[in-house]
């Protein structure tokens, strides 16, 4: 995307694209010269260019490499064989953790450890470079002046002259710039803040998540007792039970709901039977009186349940009966519609009578998704590592993709390098080898970057 790079840089610097291209080539020339003379040159925030016998090589800056690899940040190698791949029943995770940590110490040299080890090297190198750069100032300044002269000679375009002047002034004014002195260690630090906010943001997000655990839902966990997710599951289970009851005995379910909601029962119970029979023979007055009596009777009949004020009724019902929490809003909505329409006329009551039957068949709630039992441990396949919200969405996507296969999908939480990671995990097996087999079996249903990881009890 050369054109795109030039265009973006031109936009960023607010200069013409042709001038941007010249700036890029000037920088490239300086980098090549510097690396050819000193062996390597470091561009803060970008990386180190190194001239070898064969070609120019590039080693990206740590922050840049981490930003590019953010999808897999914080991953660790997983032992697959021997004593470390333990069965779930044995599950001495401490031993595994120790083994993995020992491995991580030597094998993840390109991950987190280098942050502490390589920084001093970079700083020293940068200092050495700075010294070398200062020695080479004159030669580089000559190069810059050559470029300036070339631009000055090209007087056909006034804009170029305007550019060449400032550029030359910038080069001359900052003599040290010719040798890339701005690539000093203190500049290198300026590249880090770009990365830090992301980490800080994730950390803050993680803290926010911890502060509001009710929104974080590994509800399927049966190992309960350590988190608030237990409450979620406790609510969902009775919901299902209530739904089953309503399915099996639809008739009792209507009155049960009517008792909970005062406005709803009135029309459905009383209106339908009397209206068709009595409207035709009786005059309007009798009809109104009759309905009034019936309504009054219904009111007194239901009075004990209706005594509490309407606004406070719903919360009480919700708090007392978690299973009804899901059905209440629907019934409340219906009741609201009925009360509004019944105020206009009695004709709506017949239609309202038919409505209560509608939600009953629609009640069957989707069965709770399979979750990973953290207490059981074992291994799983991680298909994504992202923010909490995105992880939940991603997990739902994989649940749909793997529906019908009885494979648990969950979001595991882990801290790596002080940052909380949310990993979408698929499947739960006893050993890492089984996890690899599962990965092969699912094949195309999993993304390319799927990897095996161990299920921690506190994940």
Partner 1 sequence: MNRISRDQAVAALVEVVREALVQGEEVHLPDLGTLRVEHRPSTTATLPDGETVMQPPRDEIVFAAQS
Strand 379-386 to 451-454 pairing: antiparallel
Residue closer to partner 1 by CB (options 338, 450) is 450
List binders of partner 1 among 416-445 (CB under 8 A): 432, 436
Contact 55, 395 (CB under 8 A): no
Residue closer to partner 1 by CB (options 149, 247) is 149
Candidates 97, 137, 143, 191; binder of partner 1 (CB under 8 A) is 191
Closest CA to 234 of 248, 222, 252, 243: 222
List binders of partner 1 among 194-233 (CB under 8 A): 194
Residue closer to partner 1 by CB (options 23, 305) is 23
Cα 384 from Cα 183, distance rounded (Å): 36
Cα 363 from Cα 253, distance rounded (Å): 11
Please tell me whether residue 375 binds partner 1 under the rule CB under 8 A.
no
CB 92 → partner 1: shortest distance, Å? Answer: 17
Candidates 33, 41, 62, 79; binder of partner 1 (CB under 8 A) is 79
Please tell me whether residue 137 binds partner 1 under the rule CB under 8 A.
no
Candidates 33, 38, 44, 331; binder of partner 1 (CB under 8 A) is 44
CB 123 → partner 1: shortest distance, Å? Answer: 18
Candidates 37, 64, 308, 392; binder of partner 1 (CB under 8 A) is 64
Closest CA to 187 of 259, 130, 244, 237: 130
Helix runs in 174-260, H state only: 185-211, 229-248, 250-260
Contact 270, 295 (CB under 8 A): yes
Residues comprising the chain, all counted: 459
Strand 419-429 to 56-60 pairing: unpaired
List binders of partner 1 among 277-306 (CB under 8 A): none
Residue closer to partner 1 by CB (options 246, 450) is 450
Please tell me whether residue 43 binds partner 1 under the rule CB under 8 A.
yes
CB 444 → partner 1: shortest distance, Å? Answer: 14
- Applying CB under 8 A, the span of 81-89, 213-221, 224-232, 293-301 interacting with partner 1 comes to 81-89
CB 21 → partner 1: shortest distance, Å? Answer: 7
137-153 and 113-135 helices cross at what angle (nearest 10)?
A: 70
- Applying CB under 8 A, the span of 52-60, 126-134, 216-224, 266-274 interacting with partner 1 comes to 52-60
List binders of partner 1 among 1-40 (CB under 8 A): 1-2, 4-5, 8-9, 12-16, 19, 21, 23-25, 27-29, 31-32
Q: Is 407 helix (H, G, I), strand (E, B) or coil?
A: coil
Residues 317-356, one symbol each (x = binds partner 1 by CB under 8 A, - = not), give: ----------------------------------------
Contact 359, 327 (CB under 8 A): yes
Cα 309 from Cα 327, distance rounded (Å): 20
Sheet architecture: strand order including 379-386:
409-416, 419-429, 379-386, 451-454
Residues 233-252, one symbol each (x = binds partner 1 by CB under 8 A, - = not), give: --------------------
Cα 98 from Cα 84, distance rounded (Å): 9
Residue closer to partner 1 by CB (options 27, 87) is 27
Candidates 17, 18, 40, 69; binder of partner 1 (CB under 8 A) is 69
Token pair of 171 as six digits:
């080069």
Token pair of 130 as six digits:
């700075």
Cα 451 from Cα 311, distance rounded (Å): 51
CB 360 → partner 1: shortest distance, Å? Answer: 49
Candidates 128, 162, 208, 212; binder of partner 1 (CB under 8 A) is 162
Residues 171-190, one symbol each (x = binds partner 1 by CB under 8 A, - = not), give: x--x--x--x-xx-------
Please tell me whether residue 55 binds partner 1 under the rule CB under 8 A.
yes
**DSSP output for 269-298:** HHSTTHHHHHTTTS-HHHHHHHHHHHHHHH
For residues 221-251, one letter each, b for 16 or more C-beta atoms within 10 angstroms of the residue's C-beta and e for the rest, the string is beeeeebebbebbeebeebeebbeebeeeee
Q: How many residues bind partner 1 (CB under 8 A)?
A: 74
């Amino acid at each position: 995307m050369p054109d795109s790079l030039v265009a973006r840089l031109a936009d960023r610097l607010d200069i013409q694209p042709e001038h941007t291209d010249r700036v890029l080539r000037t920088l490239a020339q300086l980098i090549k010269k510097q690396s050819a003379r000193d062996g390597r040159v470091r561009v803060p925030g970008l990386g180190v260019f190194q001239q070898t016998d064969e070609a120019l090589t590039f080693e990206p800056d740590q922050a840049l490499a981490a930003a590019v690899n953010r999808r897999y940040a914080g991953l660790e190698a997983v032992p697959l064989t021997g004593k470390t791949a333990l069965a779930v029943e044995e599950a001495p995770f401490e031993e595994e953790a120790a083994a993995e940590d020992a491995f991580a110490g030597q094998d993840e040299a390109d991950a987190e450890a280098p942050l502490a080890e390589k920084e001093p090297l970079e700083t020293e190198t940068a200092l050495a470079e700075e010294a070398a750069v200062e020695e080479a100032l004159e030669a580089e300044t000559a190069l810059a002046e050559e470029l300036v002269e070339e631009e000055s000679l090209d007087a056909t375009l006034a804009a170029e002259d305007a550019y060449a002047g400032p550029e030359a002034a910038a080069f001359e004014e900052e003599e040290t710039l010719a040798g890339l002195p701005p690539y000093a260690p203190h500049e290198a630090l300026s590249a880090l803040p770009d990365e830090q906010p992301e980490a800080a943001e994730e950390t803050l997000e993680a803290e926010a998540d911890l502060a509001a655990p009710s929104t974080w839902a590994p509800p399927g966990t049966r190992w309960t007792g350590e988190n608030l997710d237990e409450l979620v599951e406790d609510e969902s289970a009775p919901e299902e039970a209530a739904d089953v009851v309503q399915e099996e005995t639809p008739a009792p379910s209507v009155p049960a709901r009517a008792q909970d909601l005062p406005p709803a029962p009135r029309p459905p119970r009383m209106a339908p039977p009397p209206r068709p029979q009595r409207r035709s023979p009786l005059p309007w007055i009798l009809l109104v009186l009759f309905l009034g009596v019936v309504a009054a009777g219904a009111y007194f009949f239901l009075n004990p349940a209706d005594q509490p004020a309407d606004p406070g009724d719903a919360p009480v019902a919700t708090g007392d009966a978690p299973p009804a929490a899901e059905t209440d809003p629907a019934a409340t909505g219906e009741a609201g519609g009925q009360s509004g329409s019944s105020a206009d006329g009695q004709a709506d009551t017949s239609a309202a009578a038919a409505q209560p039957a509608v939600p009953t068949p629609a009640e069957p709630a989707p069965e709770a998704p399979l979750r990973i039992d953290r207490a059981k441990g074992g291994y799983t396949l991680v298909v994504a590592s992202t923010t909490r919200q995105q992880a939940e969405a991603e997990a739902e996507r994989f649940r749909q993709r793997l529906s019908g296969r009885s494979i648990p999908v969950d979001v595991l939480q882990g801290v790596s390098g002080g940052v909380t990671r949310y990993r979408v995990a698929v499947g739960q097996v006893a050993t890492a080898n089984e996890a690899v087999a599962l990965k092969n079996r699912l094949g195309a249903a999993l993304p390319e970057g799927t990897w095996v990881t161990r299920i921690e009890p506190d994940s």
